[in-house]
Structure 1
Amino acid sequence: MTEWRLAPLTTARVTALAACHIASWREAYDTLVPEHVPSGFDLDRSATTWERRRAEGTHRIPTALAGDELIGFAAATDAELEALYVRAAWHGTGVADALIDAAAPGSPCTLWVFADYPRAHGFYRRHGFADTGVHRVDPFTMLPEQLWRRAAR
């Protein structure tokens, strides 16, 4: 497998990040969410959202690159890990570990994770997160989610 590296999100990579987000989402949740949910994604709208977050400077958004291909990314504020996506071909390679460490470096933070997603649960447990017992229904997918928290390391 090609070597990869981390790099900050730049304006030039925003559309690639949006495309990676959509593709990773479909790969990760294809059996979890109803078919009509992923069809609602819009590349341009997603790119606009990610560019706004990048420009505002309120999120740490490291990206993972294999050559010039954007293969994963994370997004975190000081309090919440809001996104962590890696293309399926790169699962198990350490890309996600590096991204979470870059986006939320040892900080106490929270994240929302689908209740019925054991693969993610195992990953987040390895990174010090635990289910808080707080649950909600995700408004986009209508699936149950759990709030997980990591204490300071």
Structure 2
Amino acid sequence: MIIRSGGEADIAAISALHTASWRSAYDEILPAWYLDGPLPGDHLDRWQQRLADASSPGLFIAEADSVLVGFVYLQLAEDRRVIIDNLHAAPLHRGVGVGTRLIEAGLLWAANAYPGRSVYLEVFRENTAAIAFYERRGGRRTASGITRFEAGFEVPVYEYTWSSVGPA
């Protein structure tokens, strides 16, 4: 498996993996009408908007035999912390180190690009497997709240934080 920077050429593969990951991991968390309906279009639109102008320095791709098996996307948040906005492994590649390698790449990037800033993410409260994964990798639960989807539903979330990552 290799980890590389991602960009515009990866939009279709990222969007497809993102959708497959959500359908697999969130089938009992998000409404079926959303997962089976507008989700693929929403993901494609999101990735086209994010990556249309240039490659993103906070996008890392995991590939095995030249096939996308996971990705992580980080960006500077409005509050000046760094947010891990997406971290996904292909359903058939979970539990084999893809997520670990990607989160390590993301934290290293954040430490170098934004030294001293904390890194955080939001995770659905019912996603106990992801919560356990983040805790094993040093994330601390720092807040809770609600994520509101434009499609008209809400999901409770926890925030997990890696405090003040420094340069590598």
TM-score by shorter chain over 0.5: yes
Of 114, 134, 137, the match for 1:127? 137
The amino acid of 1:30's aligned partner reads: D
Of 77, 83, 86, the match for 1:83? 86
Structure 2: runs of 5+ lacking an equivalent? 77-81, 112-117
Is 1:94 paired with 2:97? yes
Question: Structure 1's 48 and 135: CA in aligned 2 closer, same or farther, altered over 3 A?
Answer: closer
- Tell me, in whole angstroms, the C-alpha distance in 1 between the residues paired with 2:48 and 2:57: 11
Task: Name the structure 2 match of 1:65.
Answer: 63
* Equivalent residues of 1:109, 1:151 under 8 A apart: yes
The amino acid of 2:24's aligned partner reads: E
- Tell me, in whole angstroms, the C-alpha distance in 2 between the residues paired with 1:86 and 1:132: 24
- Tell me, in whole angstroms, the C-alpha distance in 1 between the residues paired with 2:40 and 2:21: 14
Task: Name the structure 1 match of 2:21.
Answer: 24
- Percentage identity across paired residues of the two chains: 24
Give the aligned length: 149
* Equivalent residues of 2:8, 2:55 under 8 A apart: no
Over aligned residue pairs, what C-alpha RMSD do you find? 2.1
- TM-score norm. by structure 2 comes to 0.78
- TM-score norm. by structure 1 comes to 0.85
- Tell me, in whole angstroms, the C-alpha distance in 1 between the residues paired with 2:30 and 2:62: 26
